[in-house]
Amino acid sequence: MILDQLKNQFAIVGVGYTPQGKIPNRTAVSFHIQAVKAALEDAGINKSEIDALYVYRHFDPISGDYDTTAFTVAEQLGVRPSVIGQETYCTRGWLYNGIGLLASGLARYVVISYGDNARSGRRSFVKELAGGKATDDLAAFGDLSTMAKYSMQARHAMDTYGTGPDVWKEIAIAERQWACLNPIAGMYGKPLDDEGYFSASMVAEPLRLLDATPNSDGGRAIVLTTVERAKSLGHPYAVIRGFGSANQPVLPLKICVDDPNAAAKVASAKAFSMAGITHADVDACELYDCFTYTVEATLRDYGFFRPEECRDFLRREHIGPGGSLPVNTSGGMLSEAYFMGMTPISEAVMQLTGRCGDRQLGKLPGTKTPSIIVCSDNGAVFQSHICLVLERGE
């Protein structure tokens, strides 16, 4: 089977960080290139070896920025890759694209980068209006946000499986606990308790402000290559033991909570099968968490718990520091920084390579050194999904 042959063949050999949080007077592209430079240094490779560059996302330029395209990033890095691409409109194609290029020998190193000045530039993610005019049907019904669409699924899950704010509170609080161990996290030094969660205002009920990831300034980048090259670089890396990508490319309107073809279900089934693991083998999860409910939906669709077991499974004692299944150990997008799939995946690599300081699994009391970490990248409203099973590589 083709998928089995791709097991343990590829690796993440570098991660690049930039200043992050509220960093004014920076262009979006400046964060892309700073993150890539840092990732190259971390990997120990020269920029001339980048054969493919994928940048997240295509955003409308704000704060006087020029349009930030893949061409812009490549030009400012002074690189000439064979393939450049941009993850526009929340598609998540970078993994299969990158793996395909590496597997065929068409690329030596593949770089994925994220950069934005969303916080200081005050980016709005309302796509349903352009210049005050509707871009599709939805504005006619006052449906103007991604948050409303996630909330729609969250409500259905509430009425069907008994989840709700008191479950999502546990996710928000657990991730905040992790963030309080991470000096570069946006919410470092800002613990959250039950009262704090419930006092946050409802935005798109049943989701509150604290159920939603805030904007960040900054960037993050990773370097992918083959395991053979990874070994030659002579430093720790993360092996991609299994991976899977899937889409449910219907309108958010047609997304169903119990869809057997949910992108997360299909992608994780491929990844777990390729990796040859069960849920019991997973030491930690680093999951795309645009909303608290996204974490619940992902763990549920990955099969970690049956839908009606959400209340027992999603407790801070279980997924927070000291718990038996750490989730989003950097604080996640909710409490660390919003760099889409790069947030969870870079944290997984940092954990596996032992560089997480006070939040390091295995050093933090009550935790064990991780061998296998499952990561997710999720696009749009459960419409595009990547699942990675990463393992410590020597």
Partner 1 sequence: MDFFEPRINADNAPFWEGCKAHELRFQRCKRCGKVRWPAAYLCPECLSEDTEWVTLPNRGTLYSYVVMQKPFHPSLAEKVPYVIAEVDLAEGVRITTNMFDCDVSALKCGGEVAIDFLDSETYSRPIAIWKGASE
- What are the residues binding partner 1 (CB under 8 A)? 126, 129, 132-145, 148, 151-153, 155-156, 158-160, 201-206, 251, 253-254, 256
- CB nearer partner 1, residue 60 or residue 137: 137
**Cβ of residue 213: shortest distance to partner 1, in angstroms?**
16
**Cβ of residue 44: shortest distance to partner 1, in angstroms?**
45
Task: Count other Cβ atoms within 10 Å, centred on residue 154.
Answer: 27
- CB nearer partner 1, residue 131 or residue 234: 131
- CB nearer partner 1, residue 77 or residue 138: 138
Contact 213, 175 (CB under 8 A): no
- CB nearer partner 1, residue 153 or residue 367: 153
Instruction: Give which of 257, 220, 203, 246 is closest to 386, Cα–Cα.
Output: 246
- CB nearer partner 1, residue 25 or residue 201: 201
Instruction: Give which of 248, 261, 210, 265 is closest to 387, Cα–Cα.
Output: 265
Instruction: Give which of 11, 17, 12 is closest to 36, Cα–Cα.
Output: 17
> How many CA atoms, within 13 angstroms, populate the side-chain half-sphere of residue 136?
10
**Cβ of residue 210: shortest distance to partner 1, in angstroms?**
13
Separation of alpha carbons 305 and 92, rounded Å: 25
Separation of alpha carbons 200 and 195, rounded Å: 9
Residue 79 region by backbone torsions, left for phi larger than 0, else alpha for psi between -120 and 50, else beta:
beta
**Cβ of residue 24: shortest distance to partner 1, in angstroms?**
24
**Cβ of residue 293: shortest distance to partner 1, in angstroms?**
12
**Cβ of residue 11: shortest distance to partner 1, in angstroms?**
39
Separation of alpha carbons 68 and 163, rounded Å: 40
The CA dihedral of 386, 119, 252, 99, to the nearest 10 degrees, is -20
The radius of gyration of the chain's CA atoms, rounded to the nearest angstrom, is: 20
The residues that bridge with 56 in the sheet, in sequence order, are 87
**Cβ of residue 306: shortest distance to partner 1, in angstroms?**
19
- CB nearer partner 1, residue 99 or residue 138: 138
Fill in the DSSP letter of residue 223.
E
- CB nearer partner 1, residue 159 or residue 358: 159
**Cβ of residue 310: shortest distance to partner 1, in angstroms?**
16
- CB nearer partner 1, residue 49 or residue 259: 259
Q: 206: cis peptide before it, omega within 30°?
A: yes
Contact 281, 274 (CB under 8 A): no
Separation of alpha carbons 185 and 177, rounded Å: 11
**Cβ of residue 200: shortest distance to partner 1, in angstroms?**
11
Separation of alpha carbons 198 and 188, rounded Å: 20
Which H or E run includes 379?
strand 372-379
- CB nearer partner 1, residue 159 or residue 309: 159
